[in-house]
Structure 1
Amino acid sequence: MDRLSGLDASFLYLETPAQLMHVCGLLVLDVSTMPGGYGFERLRAGIEGHVRDVPAFTRRLRRVPLGLDHPVWVRDRSFDIERHVHRLALPTPGGYRELTELAGHLAGLPLDRSRPLWEMWVIEGYEGDKVVVLSKMHHATVDGVSGANLISHLCALSATDAPLAPAPRATHGREPGPAELLGRGVLSTATRPLQLARLVSPSATLVTRTVGRARNGTAMAAPLTAPRTSFNGTITSHRSIGLADMDLEQVRAVKRATGTTVNDVVLAVAGGALRSYLLDRGELPTDSLLATVPVSVRSSSRRSDGANKVSALFTRLGTDIEDPLERVRDLAVRNRHAKDHHNAISADSLQDWAEFAAPRTFGLAVRAYAGLRLAEKHPVVHNLVISNVPGPPVPLYFVGARIEALYPLGPVFHGAGLNITVMSNAGELHVGVIACRESMPDVDDLVQRFPAALDELAGLVDGPGVTAPAR
């Protein structure tokens, strides 16, 4: 039995029928490399063999009586792979549009909380003989880094190698009874005032320092200062998905020429794509869009519990800047300030405060927020979420099938109905964009602007006079 951390549990409490809190991944597979050839039963059996003893795949939720504490993970003793790995086929012609329409539909379906919070949809008939696996895992189970680590239980360096991360030895701990869970909940509730007292003073100091940074112009961008766009409102459960590819070496060339980072370049490309998209629709705000960028604190966190070890920073994407080179330079400076500001905050700050998320009141508040459409009535907190996740530098094989592409897809929120996630894979950057379909029905119109924005930036740095941003 493992208690969910406050941050993990918060992703459960944030979930509503429209605001689904799972993360998805689309793996495009070349199944011709599978030993013995492709067969759905063979692929499913391979998945089962690799995940059966991995806790993240075989544990389910157990609520604490009266909602006195966060839920706990217990082993699902009736685990059945057939309830998690499903088979579908694309309608002819089985191309990009058919795939993204089906993926959008599946991404809009909630996970069954009575079972382990993951599933995979094996989609056959893509571009003739390719197979696509759409994976869904609840955010209470994974963040970006731990999600990538879980994939390593299913992937190898060749079609015949063992997985990169072998399954751990199975542990069959006892399942607690209602009385024990109730007692733990009472104890946790009783000690919360002491925990709160320890957090107040450091948080007050942080606020004071943030005010000082703001006066000096070195603070990260502030939430609630974003301009309103068509994708900043109350969302529905309908999803639209777009996918694109970029050359990682091209990004690195821009990085070297401008003295910035890969993340600076990716954010600048995103800013260029969004500027172009909004400009063509006559919706470009005067002020720059504001993005939330998740940041892993796994290496600096002192906490040993919890699957999610993340924080976040806010950054402007430079959509108000026409010149791509000026945009990447501006972003580099802003990102340095944002990182310095973020590093001054305790790595465990978000996780510590999340411990006080009350199961009942938190969930009711989220539902009231959606029902009253409050996201449309107060200043915009942020316009979108954008992540840049490092992936494998070499080709990987998923249960023997070569991974040709891996597109990550994160959740969208009331008030920010757009999520952009970029992941590197064997020399390429795969861009996954997911949005509320009513807010952004034609996501493909946005995502296809990413390669064009990168080409434009790369073309400019090939010319003379490119200098690094001021330090």
Structure 2
Amino acid sequence: MTTTVPSPNPVDGCFLTYEREQPRFRPYVGVVMHATGSHPSLSRVREQIAGRVDRMPTLACKVGKQGRRTVWELDPGFDPRRHVHEIRTEDGLDSLDRTVETLSSRPIPADAPRWEVWLIHGYSSDTYALFYRAHHAAQDGQAVLDALTALFGVGPALSPRQPRAEAPAGPRTRANRIPRTWSERIPARAVAQNAVDSVRGLRSTLTWSPHRPLTGRARLLSAAVPVSWPREVAGALGATPNDVCLAALAEAVRRWVPEDWPARPAPGRELHVGMPISLRYPEERYAVGNRVSAVRIPLSFWAESPVDRVIAVANATRRVRTEGMRRVLRAQLELLPEWLVYRFVRQSCAASSAVDSSGLLRVPRRLAVGADPIEKVVPTLFLHGEHLFAASFVSYRQQVVVSFTLDSALVDIGDLAALWADAVERLWREMPTPVKGNE
């Protein structure tokens, strides 16, 4: 299997520039994988990864800055074993969480491909964890899950799909003519909608002022619900499971924010989330770098009915989950200069921009370390700027897991992850009985 090393897109360079200007910023995305069994030796994990790394050739590519230029290149000295490390912790799951939080703040070396795997054990006699993390300049969320599937997926290697065939040769009619110009390839309605969303994005979203200074240090909170719950709610309301996750996020935040926190810019303002949209073409599964953009989505924060909130979120996401909108966002990725994209990235540092979210990503296959099954995956995201928290969602096997990256100054306010899981359960229980499966 081969990989393409195209010219870098602006998003890759933006995260590198951001990190260079803010040395404490750690733009890393990852997943904690919980495995069942006695922990393996470090050499065994290294050998599994070394034997499978060719399934995702981009893992051998490194990205960096040469002056103002962003450069992707194959690492001539690439050795996947050097990317795999080990750490022993104390007893208890709290020890695992603290270890992941500590590792999340450590820089990934810039002189090699920017990903690594940590074998974490010692907190339990019959379980252990693997923490995969990567620099956001190197991998977006979908690429992280592709890496997990390549390195730990059960079964044969997956291959990228082939590009869609062009229209057959013959007379050029309106029905089979291939669009050639920018205006032909991108529907005017999608361009107009993107412009409207961009103008709306200049308005501050709802945020709050805690009565304490933020630390910038991240704490991780997670919870899980059966995958059937958001799926069945979505089916009953004409939504998607991602819509249900976002609606439950709004409900959880409503219950979490203390009443005495001042709302900014004013009470009644809408709360928005930055919803990622994958821009990868089928043949780009193993292309390096980011192929993702984000659109600001209102969460109907003030709706009294959780069901009405799901429907409102579904209506909002439906407008942007179109092929036309993806073409607009893709064109922006390919045509806008890096300095302008960087302005957008830095604007997102403000808490008044939108809540950071990964959207609901799905791990398509079972994962394992040798014969040891991975029973649960927990996504990790990063904090930046003035954000109080960030939320990420992953579907794996029979669970949907939410993970909150929370500023450590706010851990005593309440468990956002538990509140989210409760919101999903209450939504599911409100659905008509025929919609539900077995509990």
Please state which band the TM-score falls in when normalised by the shorter chain: 0.7 to 0.9
Listed as ranges, the matches of 1:134-173 within 5 Å are 134-157=131-154, 163-165=156-158
2:53–2:80: 8 Å Cα contact kept in structure 1? no
Instruction: Return closer, same or farther for 1:329/1:207 CA change in 2, 3 Å cut-off.
Output: closer
Instruction: Return closer, same or farther for 1:166/1:81 CA change in 2, 3 Å cut-off.
Output: farther
Aligned-pair distance for 1:463? 6.8
Name 1:44's counterpart in structure 2.
Answer: 46
SS, match of residue 366 in structure 2 = coil
1:301–1:347: 8 Å Cα contact kept in structure 2? no
2:271–2:298: 8 Å Cα contact kept in structure 1? yes
1:385–1:418: 8 Å Cα contact kept in structure 2? no
Name 1:90's counterpart in structure 2.
Answer: 89
Listed as ranges, the matches of 1:348-367 within 5 Å are 348-354=330-336, 356-357=337-338
Identity of aligned residues (%): 20
Aligned-pair distance for 1:228? 2.4
Aligned amino acid, residue 209 of structure 1: A
Name 2:30's counterpart in structure 1.
Answer: 24
Instruction: Return closer, same or farther for 1:260/1:124 CA change in 2, 3 Å cut-off.
Output: same
Instruction: Return closer, same or farther for 1:317/1:151 CA change in 2, 3 Å cut-off.
Output: same
Instruction: Return closer, same or farther for 1:399/1:234 CA change in 2, 3 Å cut-off.
Output: farther
1:412–1:434: 8 Å Cα contact kept in structure 2? yes
Listed as ranges, the matches of 1:327-366 within 5 Å are 327-339=309-321, 343=325, 346-354=328-336, 356-357=337-338
Cα distance between partner residues in 2 of 1:301 and 1:223 = 34
Aligned amino acid, residue 408 of structure 2: R
Name 2:257's counterpart in structure 1.
Answer: 278
TM-score computed with the length of structure 2 as normaliser: 0.79
1:317–1:331: 8 Å Cα contact kept in structure 2? yes
Name 1:181's counterpart in structure 2.
Answer: none
Tell me whether 1:459 sits opposite 2:426 in the alignment.
no
2:64–2:110: 8 Å Cα contact kept in structure 1? no
SS, match of residue 137 in structure 2 = coil
Name 1:186's counterpart in structure 2.
Answer: none
| 1:28-75: CA deviation from partner (whole Å, max 9, x where unpaired) | 01135xxxx8333222222222226853333334543x43x3223232
Name 1:259's counterpart in structure 2.
Answer: 238
Name 2:192's counterpart in structure 1.
Answer: 209
- Aligned positions, number: 406
Name 1:125's counterpart in structure 2.
Answer: 122
1:63–1:70: 8 Å Cα contact kept in structure 2? yes
Cα distance between partner residues in 2 of 1:112 and 1:451 = 36
Aligned-pair distance for 1:382? 1.6
Instruction: Return closer, same or farther for 1:44/1:330 CA change in 2, 3 Å cut-off.
Output: same
Instruction: Return closer, same or farther for 1:283/1:89 CA change in 2, 3 Å cut-off.
Output: farther
Q: 2:353 aligns with which of 381, 388, 402?
A: 381
Cα distance between partner residues in 2 of 1:57 and 1:302 = 14
Name 1:428's counterpart in structure 2.
Answer: 399
Cα RMSD of the aligned pairs, angstroms, is 4.0
Instruction: Return closer, same or farther for 1:251/1:417 CA change in 2, 3 Å cut-off.
Output: same
Aligned amino acid, residue 393 of structure 2: V
Cα distance between partner residues in 2 of 1:464 and 1:326 = 20
Tell me whether 1:115 sits opposite 2:97 in the alignment.
no
Tell me whether 1:72 sits opposite 2:67 in the alignment.
no
Name 1:319's counterpart in structure 2.
Answer: 301
2:191–2:328: 8 Å Cα contact kept in structure 1? no
Name 1:184's counterpart in structure 2.
Answer: none
Cα distance between partner residues in 1 of 2:15 and 2:375 = 31
Aligned amino acid, residue 268 of structure 1: A
SS, match of residue 131 in structure 1 = strand
Aligned amino acid, residue 28 of structure 2: H
Cα distance between partner residues in 2 of 1:375 and 1:420 = 16
Listed as ranges, the matches of 1:195-234 within 5 Å are 209-210=192-193, 222-230=201-209
Which structure 1 residue ranges, 5 or more long, are not aligned? 168-197, 466-471
Cα distance between partner residues in 2 of 1:53 and 1:458 = 39
2:55–2:157: 8 Å Cα contact kept in structure 1? no
Which structure 2 residue ranges, 5 or more long, are not aligned? 161-180
TM-score computed with the length of structure 1 as normaliser: 0.74
Instruction: Return closer, same or farther for 1:238/1:327 CA change in 2, 3 Å cut-off.
Output: same
Aligned amino acid, residue 401 of structure 1: D
Aligned-pair distance for 1:99? 1.8
Aligned amino acid, residue 388 of structure 1: L
SS, match of residue 332 in structure 1 = helix
Cα distance between partner residues in 2 of 1:76 and 1:290 = 44
Aligned-pair distance for 1:344? 7.1
| 1:328-370: CA deviation from partner (whole Å, max 9, x where unpaired) | 122122222343597275242331245x225xx998x899x79
Aligned-pair distance for 1:207? 10
Deviation larger for 417-426 or 240-249: 417-426
1:435–1:443: 8 Å Cα contact kept in structure 2? no
Tell me whether 1:398 sits opposite 2:369 in the alignment.
yes
SS, match of residue 152 in structure 1 = helix
Deviation larger for 45-54 or 312-321: 45-54
Cα distance between partner residues in 2 of 1:26 and 1:297 = 25
Aligned-pair distance for 1:406? 0.8
